[in-house]
Amino acid sequence: MSTARDKIREKLFPVEVTDVQHYTDRLFTLRTTRPGTFRFEAGEFTMLGLDTGQEVIQRAYSMTNATYDEELSFLSIKVQDGAFTSRLQYVEAGQELLVGKKPTGTLTIDAVAPGRNLYLFSTGTGIAPFMSLIQEPEIYNRYERIVLNHTCRLQAELVYDQYLRAGIHEHPLVGEEAAAQLLYYPTVTREDYYRTGRVTGHLEDGSLWGELGLDKLDPEQDRAMVCGGPDMLETLVDELKSRGFDPGDRGEAGGYAIEKAFVG
Ligand SMILES: Cc1cc2nc3c(=O)[nH]c(=O)nc-3n(C[C@H](O)[C@H](O)[C@H](O)COP(=O)(O)OP(=O)(O)OC[C@H]3O[C@@H](n4cnc5c(N)ncnc54)[C@H](O)[C@@H]3O)c2cc1C
Ligand SMILES: NC(=O)c1ccc[n+]([C@@H]2O[C@H](COP(=O)([O-])OP(=O)(O)OC[C@H]3O[C@@H](n4cnc5c(N)ncnc54)[C@H](OP(=O)(O)O)[C@@H]3O)[C@@H](O)[C@H]2O)c1
């Protein structure tokens, strides 16, 4: 007789953890094998599951890898009393994880119309879907510049900093395009850094585009995607709407698209 646990497992692929890297007491990355039939669009998320033997616990996770990579990768928070990540943070290479068979999401390339500059606004683990998007060759055809903003409380939480400054320029498929078109804009809010404060302040005073040598943000030409905590999402959406941006969704391209990086 099949149990509730078996039924949940039917919707998930078993994968094997191949690598785990810890960055801070709150953040780590994971790599896993990729099932041959697992397909997704850049920017999507799926369920990541852990089978405790008694039950399967699962949570939504964005893939950070490119759609064409051989392995899957994820960026994860560690919530000490969280049912999922209090366990997930202890996984090691060789262990089994489960991956949802039906990835979905609203931060896909077709959710926003082509345009001049694409602004990707993220806080914390909200950068995850954008790591996949910026490895998609198509994004560099659709926009002149891609501005990737990552706002974190602490500098150590800018986990892709080195990759975004240099590593991606060596990427065999999009390295040249990224070097010419991708502009990284980190900011740190709770300690000293060369750029501090919430991105909203940098939007208000125009330093976001000013520092990057771009023309002023323009809803007619520019597009945006937002991924972060509930509070940040609300603030950014209000800000974009007040500047004349219209929402888009997959299937109906608009001026901006959003996804919750976690439920508050
Ligand atoms: C569409 C979507 C995509 C997501 N993608 C990712 C991802 O790529 N990486 C990731 O780490 N999480 C992601 N999450 C959050 C993830 O699903 C879980 O919430 C997270 O794994 C924590 O699970 P938990 O059971 O340990 O704690 P939960 O009980 O789920 O959460 C407890 C509390 O911890 C905080 N929290 C949860 N997740 C985060 C987070 N990511 N960053 C900061 N605070 C958080 C919130 O305050 C939440 O109320 C995503 C959520 C959604 C809805
Ligand atoms: N126990 C710990 O040590 C610890 C540490 C960090 C977080 N947490 C908890 O973990 C959860 C998520 O933390 P997180 O750091 O990933 O996410 P977060 O609290 O949402 O903050 C991430 C970044 O987004 C900024 N931000 C928050 N709201 C914003 C808004 N409305 N507009 C623009 N920027 C905004 C923050 O700036 P500000 O710094 O200005 O808020 C911070 O730089 C929270 O519930 C938090 O209480 C715990």
User: How far, in Å, from the CA of 76 to the mean position of ligand 1?
Assistant: 8
Which residues have C-beta atoms less than 6 Å from ligand 2?
A: 123-124, 151-153, 189-190, 198-200, 229, 231-232, 235
CA–CA distance, 37 with 44 (Å, rounded to integer): 16
Q: What is the pLDDT of residue 50?
A: 98
| Structural domain boundaries enclosing 139 | 109-260
Shared-domain flag, residues 176 and 222:
yes
Q: Which of 71, 100, 129 is the last residue of a domain?
A: 100
Say which residue the tokens 């969704």 belong to: 249
Domain boundary among 50, 79, 100: 100
Per-residue confidence in pLDDT tens, the chain, 264 aa: 678 888 888 999 999 999 999 999 999 999 999 999 999 999 999 999 999 999 999 999 999 999 999 999 999 999 999 999 999 999 999 999 999 999 999 999 999 999 999 999 999 999 999 999 999 999 999 999 999 999 999 999 999 999 999 999 999 999 999 999 999 999 999 999 999 999 999 999 999 999 999 999 999 999 999 999 999 999 999 999 999 999 987 677 999 999 988 877
Other CB atoms within 10 A of residue 207 CB: 16
- In DSSP notation, 64-86 reads -S-TT-SEEEEEEE--TT-TTHH
Site to probe by mutation for ligand 2, drawn from 121, 151, 159, 193 as the one with most ligand atoms within 8 Å of Cβ, is 151
**CATH, residue 196:** 3.40.50.80
Calculate Rg over the CA atoms of the chain: 18
Verify that 36 and 162 share a domain, yes or no. Answer: no
Asked if 78 and 10 sit in the same domain, the reply is: yes
Pick from 37, 67, 100: which residue ends a domain?
A: 100
* Whether residue 264 has its Cβ less than 6 Å from ligand 1: yes
Ligand with smallest separation from the Cα of 73: 1
CA 82–ligand 1 middle distance (angstroms): 9
Residues 15 and 37: their CA atoms lie apart, in Å, by: 12
Return the best residue to mutate from 28, 195, 198 for the ligand 2 pocket (most ligand atoms within 8 A of CB): 198
Pocket lining: 1 vs ligand 1, CB cutoff 6 Å: no
- pLDDT at residue number 1: 65
For residues 69 and 91, state if they share a domain.
yes
Instruction: Give yes or no: residues 204 and 130 share one domain.
Output: yes
- Give the Cα-Cα-Cα angle 73, 172, 66 (nearest 5 degrees): 25
Question: Domain tally for the chain?
Answer: 2
160 lines ligand 1 (CB under 6 A): no
Q: For residue 117, how far is its CA from the centre of ligand 1 (angstroms)?
A: 29
Q: What is the CATH number of the domain that holds 9?
A: 2.40.30.10
Closest ligand to residue 123's CA: 2
Same domain, 68 and 164: no
- pLDDT value at residue 249: 72
